[in-house]
Structure 1
């Protein structure tokens, strides 16, 4: 297997076609400067070059809260995708029940927790070489030849093409080089983990340079399905990237880039974690329903990692695109153009009931996205007391989704009210498998999203060392779509009885939304000394309104869908931040701190208003949320042999006002009433239509998140050789895994520890590693089984893994 992958990667260096775009080469740090970076907060000289403000600047002097990971630190820590990066950035959260249902949040804000709705936008911008990625699902690729990852916290809309209200992930790949070079890396670990990476770069002519890169990852799964004798949550990833740099003149360069990525990991399953009591009648809760079928899960301990799926599982996706970046040095300013096209093709299959009973045998939303973007920026050369960046951005996105849900032969007994059995009422649909068996909802979803913006940022040195930096953005968004759900019985008829219509409801509607908005920010910064920099920022930002494309609730009469819920209003963001960046002891000690307070009005959230026929919930505006807290990044290099770092974030994020929230499972499942509900978790009690969760914590956010570690080295075998040991740890406190906090879905806090030890000399490095060294048992997500049965299902994190990595630069 290892030889096969290595050969494939070497071959790919001659076959790689078109990969992801690139920032202006002039704005990229040199490879040497980039490799000097370690983990965020790891010891450096303080001269790390970043392009967070669309120009080359040092990290410590940029008046923005940001963390930086280098390609070297990513490799050392095994952080080869966004999910693993979050362990090193305390304020970053990434959640994924599968690639399509993924979310990136910063400081707890960005996207609502739960299943994806095609008609909503993300609040955290994801950029690869200056190109905005319009769907978080398309961010789940393996990193290929990455130079650095910058995580910017807080609104960034006055410098970035797409308005990003919560922050941005800015990934920069290695640029083509006019000096011949090659890199190779091979990793082998338990679970037959094999990862191979290769890249070559060099001149073709005096003015033309190329870089070709590839990566392949394979690993056996960590979860075993006894029904199909298959290991799930495996890794089967392959990626290619190519870049062609043309120095047309001394003042003009163009970079043509392209990438292709394919993944087929057989994921992502959630399965039995625990059981809680709901307000559904006792004979309709999970223990009684499972007993009625004589069903027992293969294990009541989720960390045995054994399941018994009775439906297909798949999560194959393709991600790719091409871009052309042009930089024209006009002397006083540089004109940059970024033209890009990208696509994402998602082909899933899921066991939506999460257990080995044929209740929902198909639940999937294959989806194809195509996006086009054009950005033009003019940035001054940075040599005057008044500098500027101005730009215009155009974006068009189209998504086609083909959803389907099919009920199986166990659905009637599991989903319908069986009280007719005791009452001897005929016909009793709960006892007739044919009523719901084969009931099929076929959903055709279309989405068209067009956005246009002009934006700008000034940097005025009002007096020595004091800068005033205002920014402004004018944005227009237009969204349109359609949602058509056709429901047929097992015999193919579209005529439904009451129980069938209550299980899967046909719908058809075509929402529209368009709006202009103006946002802006202002930053005041002061350089107290060359190594001490302070800043204060206020931002007034907007997250675009959206349209509902996952089904709508019924109107008050219960006779038709409520068309007033087709759209959601834009979020209104007010963000305040104070920051201080400092270095001491000849820059061997770095301490950066920031305090923030963000309030969002008309927060976009997922609700259901007690109506379970809206399978995935729908979007609505909550009143207000607030996120406040502080962050720190620190590093210390007491000697050339020792590097230490310690980073942390305290985040207090709550619903300030959310009176129409979905109820947690312990208040769901009973007869819905607008009067006084019954006590929580009591079978047969009345359930409220909605719940007021004002003052409760937002989902997915730990109050405390920490990352820490270091490295110790000793010279050996000459002055260039070193043996070293390293440690990277992370810790987070408990967090809610349900949009409305529930006693059943809190995930306990946990700590992860990663160790490495090896030998390096110049361009050679070999090291052994252990990740999750103490085999910590933890959940990434907990969810509820639909229908208020009380079953809680979970997605566990990876167990302990270990292996060895060998890399060589030529």
Structure 2
């Protein structure tokens, strides 16, 4: 086994990461420098090892703002996916209207808020066992046999690449063992929740070991659809993972990884939350349109959790792949190769009008991604005055999407202008108006064929120079090349199958065909100065110059100013250019029973990539544009305290001030949209029939999706019973986040108010047996994960509520 792998396993054993890990409740943030390889013999209880800098180090000696959650802590708190993980990580945000339309952000930055566009990449890198996952949607699998999750905050571009301008999530699974072992876990709860996990590991020969792990989750939905008599937000997940470790020689080991995951949940629905007045004509606002159809939703209280969606709902996806990781110990350095192939197959069904009227009966984008990657990395042993990590990375990705949108029998009256008729009237001022004829839009179908080809290559290096005792300078540099090409072809047919469209049909769904391309070289780098004040007090300061690759628009383009053709100037999006500053202090005291880590940051991004929609119905999913400049600044703290073997506590927090510093051509919020467009003075906001500006200046306003304050706290207390190592315990995990905007341009209608969640657990454990009861969202807090607007400036605001109170029992046994 290589030095790196054996050292990692030895340190994990010393720090308790293979057993319940109370000392890891708040493995902290920020920090400083000694680059010497840790010595397993000197590992102390409470030491946590990470591979954040592509080498094995104690987390307290890494000059990066980061947090670590161990596998046992994940199991105890029920954080079995990234969405649950954010409840323990104040700086981490995860948003998902369905798996494809998911975003992982750190410090409010990472991915544009809104629907996914195939042509851009994320700003928070997601890694599993050293493999970069190219689409956020493929990160929504259930965790299976995870050893630990590292959350790296701030730009990580030197070692992790162009897609980590905001940070990275680095997941490590448990490696194969040469000692036979097995574990089984079963959880049951309300809403017919059942989750089963199992793993087995052991030797095949003296130098070959295997690990197999599996997980299956089912749960009844939490939202009742009165139209179809079924419960939505159902969970139905299955995953299996295998590893084969071959110790080819004393200096060479190879690990073959394979995994397969399939999910088929009836999710993720948004439905009636509230109504706000736009500047659309009064008879074309939601209330008037609903009255014209004699329509009322089953409830106007979204937390009654009932809806009447009339289209099929599903979010089926398959995720899988294989990788080979090889480590060759050269004595003074270790050579690492990571080869990977992965795929993601997304087969959705949605109701994109969000109500029980046949307006848009189909709006979905089935998508298939394939990726291959290869990384070679050489890292010195960390015992020299000048140490290094150098490497090269290649990545190729293809995405093929088959989009479709079909309008229903209510579309004409709902989407087209019927003329000057009384509010709530179902009649038309002109009987021949297209709005009065359901056949005009009924069956109107847009079939979209979208392809994307993405090739990236990079070389990188990172040095660690021990200038003096305890003082280190660590510069890094990365050269990256990107080439992206795509094709977007939208063919529109009427309900009778004709491609000849009238003006109203073309204005609703416009045929488009274009083939954007983008290529560029970029250089990014960082420099860190760190100082070890004492053995347990480390400080650092970092400057990073990073970038996120430019992109191409693959969700349809807006029309030009004349409204006669697509605006080809919006085909491509410029790269984001990032300047980030950070200082941090990492401390341990009271014989390492207490930890307090602090970090302060200031990040500015020029040409920030944002998802926008200019109000044209022809761009249903929005398109990409560059905001002039955004800024995210704030501070974070991570703390844990273990005063005795019986009690451990943690308290983590983040203050984040994230704003558009310059965005003068932003899309307008709903209260300023839908009216007659004017280049002059617009009318007052939220007045039906008013004048709407072409664009809005939202400079100085908040970025979406980010709370100014986010906190998490908790702990566990245990009491010995029985006199033979058994103990009963009580645990608590809570989190709070302040209000945040759920619209790219802040709107009075789409603020999500602050909320707090409390989770409790109580149980008994002894040696390899554990049984505990749990309750999550114990006080049944009503809150939204997302709010969105219905297309067409009708004023309808739809929401996706968070889970209600859930409770259950978990039993696990190791063998």
Q: TM-score, normalised by structure 2?
A: 0.95
Q: Aligned to 2:134, what secondary structure does the other structure show?
A: coil
- Verify the 8 A CA contact 1:218 1:236 in the aligned structure 2: yes
**Does structure 1 residue 544 correspond to structure 2 residue 549?**
yes
Q: What are the equivalent positions in structure 2 for 1:248-259 lying under 5 Å apart?
A: 248-259=248-259
Aligned mates of 1:765, 1:607 — CA distance in 2: 49
Aligned mates of 1:142, 1:448 — CA distance in 2: 28
Q: For residue 421 of structure 1, report the CA deviation from its aligned partner.
A: 5.7
- Verify the 8 A CA contact 1:31 1:147 in the aligned structure 2: no
Residue correspondences, number: 788
The answer for the alignment partner of 2:621 in structure 1 is 616
The answer for the alignment partner of 1:352 in structure 2 is 352
The answer for the alignment partner of 1:15 in structure 2 is none
The answer for the alignment partner of 1:643 in structure 2 is 648
The answer for the alignment partner of 1:710 in structure 2 is 715
Q: For residue 115 of structure 1, report the CA deviation from its aligned partner.
A: 0.3
Q: For residue 131 of structure 1, report the CA deviation from its aligned partner.
A: 0.1
Q: Aligned to 2:157, what secondary structure does the other structure show?
A: coil
Q: For residue 638 of structure 1, report the CA deviation from its aligned partner.
A: 1.7
Counterparts in 2 of 1:227 and 1:31: CA distance versus 1, 3 Å:
farther
The answer for the alignment partner of 2:375 in structure 1 is 375
Aligned mates of 2:499, 2:694 — CA distance in 1: 29
Q: Deviations over 1:257-297 (max 9, x none)?
A: 10000000110100000000000011100001001111110
Q: What are the equivalent positions in structure 2 for 1:514-533 lying under 5 Å apart?
A: 514-533=519-538
Counterparts in 2 of 1:31 and 1:442: CA distance versus 1, 3 Å:
farther
Q: Deviations over 1:555-592 (max 9, x none)?
A: 22222111111001100000000000001111111100
Counterparts in 2 of 1:103 and 1:163: CA distance versus 1, 3 Å:
closer
* Aligned partner of 2:678 among 663, 673, 678: 673
* Aligned partner of 1:512 among 502, 513, 517: 517
Q: Deviations over 1:512-559 (max 9, x none)?
A: 000000010000000000000000000000100000000111122222
Counterparts in 2 of 1:757 and 1:501: CA distance versus 1, 3 Å:
same
Q: Aligned to 1:501, what secondary structure does the other structure show?
A: helix
Q: For residue 25 of structure 1, report the CA deviation from its aligned partner.
A: 6.3
The answer for the alignment partner of 1:223 in structure 2 is 223
- Verify the 8 A CA contact 2:418 2:429 in the aligned structure 1: no
The answer for the alignment partner of 1:211 in structure 2 is 211
Aligned mates of 2:731, 2:751 — CA distance in 1: 32
Structure 1 stretches of 5 or more lacking a match? 1-22
* Worse-matched range after superposition: 552-561 or 231-240: 552-561
The answer for the alignment partner of 1:730 in structure 2 is 735
* Aligned partner of 1:684 among 675, 680, 689: 689
- Verify the 8 A CA contact 1:63 1:534 in the aligned structure 2: yes
Aligned mates of 2:463, 2:254 — CA distance in 1: 26
The answer for the alignment partner of 1:167 in structure 2 is 167
CA-atom RMSD in angstroms:
1.3
**Does structure 1 residue 431 correspond to structure 2 residue 413?**
no
Q: Aligned to 2:84, what secondary structure does the other structure show?
A: helix
Aligned mates of 2:274, 2:404 — CA distance in 1: 28
The answer for the alignment partner of 2:365 in structure 1 is 365
The answer for the alignment partner of 1:500 in structure 2 is 505
Q: Deviations over 1:390-434 (max 9, x none)?
A: 010000000000000000000000000011668843521111100
- Verify the 8 A CA contact 2:777 2:805 in the aligned structure 1: yes
Aligned mates of 1:802, 1:32 — CA distance in 2: 34
Q: Deviations over 1:157-201 (max 9, x none)?
A: 111255411100000000001111001110010111000000000
**Does structure 1 residue 39 correspond to structure 2 residue 25?**
yes
Q: What are the equivalent positions in structure 2 for 1:699-778 lying under 5 Å apart?
A: 699-778=704-783
Aligned mates of 2:189, 2:28 — CA distance in 1: 26
Q: What are the equivalent positions in structure 2 for 1:362-441 lying under 5 Å apart?
A: 362-419=362-419, 424-425=429-430, 427-441=432-446
**Does structure 1 residue 556 correspond to structure 2 residue 558?**
no
Counterparts in 2 of 1:525 and 1:377: CA distance versus 1, 3 Å:
same
Q: Deviations over 1:100-144 (max 9, x none)?
A: 000000000000000000001100000000000000000000000
Aligned mates of 1:420, 1:676 — CA distance in 2: 24
Aligned mates of 2:590, 2:220 — CA distance in 1: 48
**Does structure 1 residue 654 correspond to structure 2 residue 654?**
no
The answer for the alignment partner of 2:85 in structure 1 is 85
**Does structure 1 residue 329 correspond to structure 2 residue 329?**
yes
Aligned mates of 2:537, 2:76 — CA distance in 1: 30
The answer for the alignment partner of 1:479 in structure 2 is 484
Q: What are the equivalent positions in structure 2 for 1:579-618 lying under 5 Å apart?
A: 579-618=584-623
- Verify the 8 A CA contact 1:454 1:475 in the aligned structure 2: yes
- Verify the 8 A CA contact 2:418 2:430 in the aligned structure 1: no
Aligned mates of 2:156, 2:452 — CA distance in 1: 25
* Aligned partner of 2:458 among 453, 456, 466: 453
The answer for the alignment partner of 2:812 in structure 1 is 807
Q: For residue 610 of structure 1, report the CA deviation from its aligned partner.
A: 3.9
The answer for the alignment partner of 1:269 in structure 2 is 269
- Verify the 8 A CA contact 1:113 1:699 in the aligned structure 2: yes
- Verify the 8 A CA contact 1:655 1:698 in the aligned structure 2: yes
Aligned mates of 2:46, 2:214 — CA distance in 1: 31
- Verify the 8 A CA contact 1:610 1:689 in the aligned structure 2: no
**Does structure 1 residue 30 correspond to structure 2 residue 12?**
yes
Aligned mates of 2:719, 2:199 — CA distance in 1: 30
Q: For residue 27 of structure 1, report the CA deviation from its aligned partner.
A: 4.1
The answer for the alignment partner of 1:104 in structure 2 is 104
Q: For residue 613 of structure 1, report the CA deviation from its aligned partner.
A: 1.7
Aligned mates of 2:28, 2:629 — CA distance in 1: 37
Aligned mates of 2:766, 2:421 — CA distance in 1: 76
Aligned mates of 2:117, 2:629 — CA distance in 1: 20
**Does structure 1 residue 566 correspond to structure 2 residue 571?**
yes
- Verify the 8 A CA contact 1:161 1:392 in the aligned structure 2: no
Q: What are the equivalent positions in structure 2 for 1:131-170 lying under 5 Å apart?
A: 131-161=131-161, 163-170=163-170
Q: For residue 202 of structure 1, report the CA deviation from its aligned partner.
A: 0.4
* Worse-matched range after superposition: 103-112 or 153-162: 153-162
Aligned mates of 1:587, 1:719 — CA distance in 2: 28
Aligned mates of 1:781, 1:554 — CA distance in 2: 28
Aligned mates of 1:677, 1:612 — CA distance in 2: 21
Aligned mates of 1:688, 1:132 — CA distance in 2: 42
Q: Aligned to 1:204, what secondary structure does the other structure show?
A: strand
Q: Aligned to 1:73, what secondary structure does the other structure show?
A: helix
The answer for the alignment partner of 2:425 in structure 1 is none
Q: For residue 672 of structure 1, report the CA deviation from its aligned partner.
A: 1.1
Q: Deviations over 1:707-754 (max 9, x none)?
A: 001111101112411100000000000000000000000000000000
Q: For residue 608 of structure 1, report the CA deviation from its aligned partner.
A: 2.7
* Worse-matched range after superposition: 27-36 or 60-69: 27-36
* Aligned partner of 1:466 among 468, 471, 476: 471
Q: What are the equivalent positions in structure 2 for 1:2-81 lying under 5 Å apart?
A: 27=8, 29-31=11-13, 33=15, 34=17, 35=19, 36=21, 37-41=23-27, 45-81=45-81
Aligned mates of 2:416, 2:405 — CA distance in 1: 17
Aligned mates of 2:368, 2:581 — CA distance in 1: 38
Aligned mates of 1:129, 1:24 — CA distance in 2: 12
Aligned mates of 1:117, 1:555 — CA distance in 2: 20
Q: Aligned to 2:800, what secondary structure does the other structure show?
A: strand
